Amino acid sequence: MSLPDASEIDRTMPTSAWRFDEDVAEVFDNMLHRSIPQYGEMRNCCVQLARNYRKPETAVVDLGCSIGGSLRDLIDDTFDCRYVAVDNSAPMIDKIREFFRNHPNAHRLTIEQMDIRNSYPSCETSVTLLILTLQFVPIEDRVKILRQVYDHTIPGGVVLLVEKVLGSSSGLDSTMIKNYHDFKHSRGYSWEAIEAKQKSLENVLVPQTAEWNIEQLRFTGFSEIDCFWRWMNFAGWIAVK
């Protein structure tokens, strides 16, 4: 199930620190497809892996669900489990409620506005999605969030973590950032818009290295960890409890 054709084109030009406000929510799906390399392939990987690990009578939880893109294909299935969409942005919550209002499987979906630094949905979870979410959380809170995920996950359950990452050296990082900006320019963003968004995201989106993310998953108790997708300075991991 895809977004309505009326989804708007991203022409945002931020002039202050990045916020997931009404303007961003209105164009978010277009923004993701034009700003995240291989976005469709990455999301398909997450959907396929989630299908492998979700269990009946448990929940699939999407932390930082935005407008619900990562859950759409899963909820379209007839598989009997619960889905929980969590975000702390009221405009994003409004959008996901609007999108799923008349969905035939809406009775399986719970939508919660919540700050994941402080709490986790009250459910037993087989799959948690953390898709481009943890990078927006202060570094000192990330382990606590992963610990909450671990504690609510059933044995054999998983977390799917996708993050923007730093290169392993400053030189490699600069090269990957340059290529990323070239990618965005090829998708129709002006150099002015690319620079404006980069400045807006400073100290709001704070990436860490791939190795750091793996270490945090291992530190919180996940036993099997592997990378399922990577494009330069973006990476996705699956971690099994």
Helix (H) or strand (E) holding 230: strand 224-231
Confidence at 1, pLDDT banded by 50, 70, 90? very low
Q: What is the pLDDT of residues 133-142, one digit of tens each?
A: 999 999 999 9
Does residue 103 lie in a domain region?
yes
DSSP characters over 110-136: EEEE--TTT---SS-EEEEEEES-GGG
Does residue 142 lie in a domain region?
yes
Instruction: Report the share of the chain in percent with pLDDT over 70.
Output: 97
Predicted confidence at residue 201, as pLDDT, reads 97
Distance CA 134, CA 88 (A): 13
Average model confidence (pLDDT) across the chain: 94
Predicted confidence at residue 193, as pLDDT, reads 96
Does residue 199 lie in a domain region?
yes
Does residue 11 lie in a domain region?
no
Q: What is the CATH number of the domain that holds 115?
A: 3.40.50.150
Residue 141, judged by CB atoms within 10 A of its CB (0-12, 13-18, 19+), counts as middle
Q: For the chain, how many structural domains are there in total? A: 1
What residues make up the domain containing 132? Answer: 22-240
Could you tell me the CA-to-CA distances from 42 to 46, 126, 162, 166, 176 in Å, in that order?
6, 20, 9, 18, 18
Distance CA 82, CA 73 (A): 14
Does residue 59 lie in a domain region?
yes
Predicted confidence at residue 234, as pLDDT, reads 98
In this structure, are residues 138 and 171 in contact, taking their beta carbons and an 8 Å threshold?
A: no
Q: What is the pLDDT of residues 73-108, one digit of tens each?
A: 899 888 889 999 999 999 999 999 999 999 999 999
| Other Cβ atoms within 10 Å of 219 Cβ, number | 12
Distance CA 58, CA 127 (A): 9
Q: Which residue, among 133, 72, 135, 132, has the nearest Cα to 100 in the 3D structure?
A: 72
Does residue 165 lie in a domain region?
yes
Tokens representing 174 are 């600069």
Q: What is the pLDDT of residues 116-167, one digit of tens each?
A: 999 999 999 999 999 999 999 999 999 999 999 999 999 999 999 999 999 9
Does residue 115 lie in a domain region?
yes
Distance CA 237, CA 226 (A): 5
Q: What is the pLDDT of residues 184-209, one digit of tens each?
A: 999 999 999 999 999 999 999 999 99
Q: Which residue, among 74, 95, 109, has the nearest Cα to 31 in the 3D structure?
A: 95
Instruction: Report the share of the chain in percent with pLDDT over 90.
Output: 91
